[in-house]
A and B are shown apart, each in its own frame.
Chain A
């Protein structure tokens, strides 16, 4: 394979030595800009590197997400790491291997064609030549640009790629270490931030005396305030007695909890695609919603920052060390070159949680306490109430049908708050607390061709005729919103796949058969049929018995992995999941076990969101501030899950981290409708909604 266009990560970081360093003593350092957030990416990238370099994976040292030592690959989001970073690593390592073989051929005065590499040693056939990556390193400078012109291995030659390589980070994490939360610097101060209850609230007073009596000190700058102490326990005690007085802020309340509140608000409008000629009266329509969703990271956000008077170093579990560095520079006034951001692992984040805010807070505190490392730790209540949540969304689909009841003209109308708030300083807490906060800017989502935000997966992968999507991005939602796993994909796939089941029922056709009648994409058909067969779809019973079987299909971002999910469940006063089946086409699978882990995790998380989750709002801000107030699925609520990865040959690897979320929500929605004989179009599927659907449907 010759790359015609280099992956973006390689265009942005073209030098080979930005990625690979041959280490003295038999190691190789792999440098990547994508970071480990529990998805196993460093293991998969190491696997790709070891494959193309022909070395044992154990020789690799991976440096990920360090602005002083690793390439800038933006943020680790959107299931793009294997496609982007993996694509770059594959080309770089193939090229590095080629350079060493060429150098060896020169030394040995023979042609490259008879040479190969075995665990870093250059071989002539089965005979070791005595040359290897380490003793040739001085003769092979890697400070040169990648050409992308070296062939990478075909799938048939893979020995490591495609195998279930164990995660590199688990042993340490199972032995008590592995997280930024565990890091201690000498002389470190422990800080807890006094966060405002409402967006835009003003800090009127902080009682410094009571904080000092607790053994801590207080730092205030504009509307930003924090307590600092020599120990975590004292900082906690000071936080407990600190009674900051706030005034003002944008009023919110429970009436704003549902997506319906967004409909008709002041918004930025955009649209793409062209609708057909059908008049509104000729269209069938339905509205589907989901509420605000918490990322619900298990470990509240943490950061450590240290300023020596000239240079600022920050340790953060942010998904984007380089973008974070730009924000730190803007907040502190330091040059980017004076700032280093080092990624260290946190708990799974599933998008933009409190990580970046905590890092900026630590940076601000460190700047004002030179020589003293500052550790900021958020409380559980902070993480629920202060993090930017995944936005509520309302999706209305309207379609005109042909005589057979198939869609021939399709529109979607979406109301949503912004899905990506990470790049806007005005959307980050420490900036909002400045004496003169940055002016609000128009917060627009990524363009549809870049994957979209609210519009992600809004265009069906089915043959539905002309299709137009209107997006209304509400700029002043009641709560701060930002990226949550899959952005708009979950609500959009839930809406499309629910709507298709409703159309199938209207047409009197089996839902799988109906889908296949409007689905020409061969790969999508294959995953749909595979999941249906696993679930013994042919034996599906009648509707309205209390037991349901439903299915959902999607291709994440319309360009990444394909996934179909089938769910069997029972409904009485609540939904009980019984079995889940999943089929995935992820293209070339780098690490099949890693894919299964991500795919099943996505299923469970999406099931939790669909059945249980909703951020609650009160007059004092977000009211759901504990796991008791924001329940998620537990062990006893999770059924057996069976997953198959379909062989996709040498098709390029496709991102999988988010591919099962939408299909799972849809399959549950369709199974509940099958069980009840009545449909619920609003997530989560609470007892009240089940009762209401039965009343309306019965």
Chain B
């Protein structure tokens, strides 16, 4: 059984059970460690990836559901978002950062120049234990400026 989809712009075919979890396939199968294991219960957001532009939890997503879809991991988000996080120094330990930049990419892919409330709403499912929230919001707003036409 094989599943073919687009991963960070390139086609990829995953052999094996369609019930394999995307997080395991990414990290242990493909060596893409941007999506992080935080809870395995779709509660923290550290493993977020974009599927057809929508942020979803890789820890609960079976790879068989991805046939023909477009998947983007933290490694594949627009560089301007990563640069904004660095410019704002929007992290402490950085473990949640992958999920944050993916959630940001999901928002900025559908909304041009979102307001602060929209950013907060888009990030509200992502947990950060270090307390970098204000900087993360500032980084997403900065990225939004950089991506706006």
Which residues of A pack against B, CB within 8 Å?
A: 37-40, 164, 166-167, 169-171, 173-179, 181-182, 184, 231-233, 236, 296-300, 345-348, 350, 377, 379-380, 593, 597-598, 600-605, 608, 626-628, 632, 634-636, 638, 640-641
Contact = CB atoms under 8 A, between A and B. Distances in A.
Interface string B126-139: 11111111111100
B95 A299 contact: yes
A174 B95 contact: no
Contacts of B120: 635-636
B33 A174 contact: no
On chain B, which size bracket covers the interface? 35 or more
Task: Give 10 nearest A-B pairs by CB, closest first.
Answer: A38-B93, A604-B131, A176-B34, A601-B131, A348-B93, A347-B95, A173-B94, A182-B33, A627-B43, A380-B39
Contact of A298 (B28, B85, B95, B101): B95
B69 to A, nearest CB: 20
14 contacts: A37-B93, A167-B89, A170-B86, A170-B94, A174-B74, A174-B98, A176-B98, A236-B24, A298-B93, A298-B96, A604-B131, A605-B130, A605-B131, A635-B124
Nearest to A295: B129
A39 B94 contact: no
Q: Looking at chain A's contact residues, is the secondary structure mostly helix, strand, loop, or mixed?
A: loop
Main secondary structure on B side of the interface with A: loop
Interface of B: 20-21, 24, 27-28, 31-34, 36-41, 43-44, 46, 73-75, 82, 85-86, 89, 91-98, 101, 120-121, 123-124, 126-137
B43 A626 contact: yes
Contact of B32 (A176, A602, A603, A641): A176
B86 A179 contact: no
Nearest to A300: B37
A582 to B, nearest CB: 12
Contacts of A297: 95, 129
Given A166-B89, A169-B94, A638 B133 contact: yes
Given A176-B73, A346-B93, 15 more contacts: A170-B89, A173-B97, A174-B86, A182-B27, A184-B31, A233-B28, A346-B95, A348-B95, A380-B41, A597-B132, A600-B132, A605-B131, A628-B43, A634-B124, A635-B136
Nearest to A594: B89
Contacts of A177: 33
A435 to B, nearest CB: 32
The residue in B24, B32, B86, B89 that gathers the most chain A C-beta atoms within 10 A of its C-beta is B89
Given A174-B94, A300-B37, A166 B131 contact: no
A657 to B, nearest CB: 10
Given A175-B82, A233-B28, A605-B129, A597 B135 contact: yes
B37 A299 contact: yes
Contacts of A640: 134
Nearest to B73: A176
Nearest to A233: B24
A298 B127 contact: yes
A413 to B, nearest CB: 32
